Chain A
Amino acid sequence: MPETVLTTVPAGWAALAGIVLCTLAFFAAALDSALSARAEGAGRGGWLAPAWSTARLLRQRRRTVVAADTLLLRVGAAGMLVGSFLMVAVIPLGRWTLADLDVGVVWFNTVDVMVWALVWLAGWGANSVHGLVGGYRFLAHGLAYELPLMFALVAPAIAAGSLRVGDAAGAQDRLWFVVWMPVAFVIFLVGVTGFSVWGPFAAALGADVAGGVLAELSGVDRLVMQAGRYAFLAAGAAFSVPLFLGGGAGPFLPEWAWVAVKTVAVLAVLVWLRRKLPVFRPDRFLEIGWVVLLPAAVAQDLVVSLVVVWKG
């Protein structure tokens, strides 16, 4: 296996990583509202809409329902934003990384499992039937996407012979993993959309349950929860770059620029897809996850293992 030289930067750079993540999350939100504006025939506007709603939510007074479990509600809402920051800690930006964890892939998986708890807590804590229904819907989606996602994460780890994210990026100097493990890549993106409660997996926030988990969230709580969703989407897109898309590999530009370009491209596709796909009903998607996605992911792992053994 080729050795990758990653420089672990001092912890102070975490602030820059946070700013980059927030920028990406804002880009995702702006792109989404611009696409919405165009779809509604409102012309070219919409790019700044997330900034206005941020300002509005920042000065909005929180409202609450009787006997709401405020602690759990706030842990759930704020946890989404915090979790996405924990996720980017192990993603290398070209040669630099904040934490060169020897189990980086498992770390990513652990953080995305946290979302199970966070979304349910936000739904439960509001003491509202809509929030609770939303929380349960998310857990049902989670049961369907999480295991395929775990097995999809296994494929690059087997090929790289390491759970270190930098090693996975370094193992793709000849052929990107996305080329010979496309099934794992697609299932990974399904998982990213899932834990970002995005697009097809937004049933937990559905209009048919009055906004679901978001129904009773207001002010800053609503802001951090929504920002957390976009930040998770951005972090998931960024994680696909070292795992499947060759990391910083590419001509002309420096490595960090390639990571940024690829991240923005994947993120834009994920945002664009929201308008193209229907929301998956949790009860129906459960069967798709276990009967279609999970066997497909295991078969992909088998193919990758055979290739690795064959190549010695």
Chain B
Amino acid sequence: MSIGLRIILLIVALLSGAFIVYRIRRSKVRLQDTLFWVFTTVVLALMGIFPQISFTAARLLGIQAPVNFVYLSMIALLFEKLLTLSIQHSKLKEDYVELAAELALRCKDLEEQIDKLKQDKE
């Protein structure tokens, strides 16, 4: 692992860490959604500070170059994020349909009641 890659890892960890803390302080993000990013930031920082982690892990997993382990971890993290995002997205779409349908139903109910009241008045 080159020193350049380690520096990049640290910079990325630092920037994303700072950004997520900033969002939390502004109360712009939910607790549940920060867990992943705090974890990812810590993992990136650890890999940048202690290259031995990548060396050992690469040897154990039979990966030729330690740097490939770094890439593999990032792909794994992104994969996990994509999976959960996709599931959340699916649920949001479902909720959105539900919300529209319920709203239409209730509006109709209200309109009918108002019409009835008007008729009674006349």
- Chains A and B bind each other: no
Partner-A contacts on B (CB < 8 A): none
Partner-B contacts on A (CB < 8 A): none
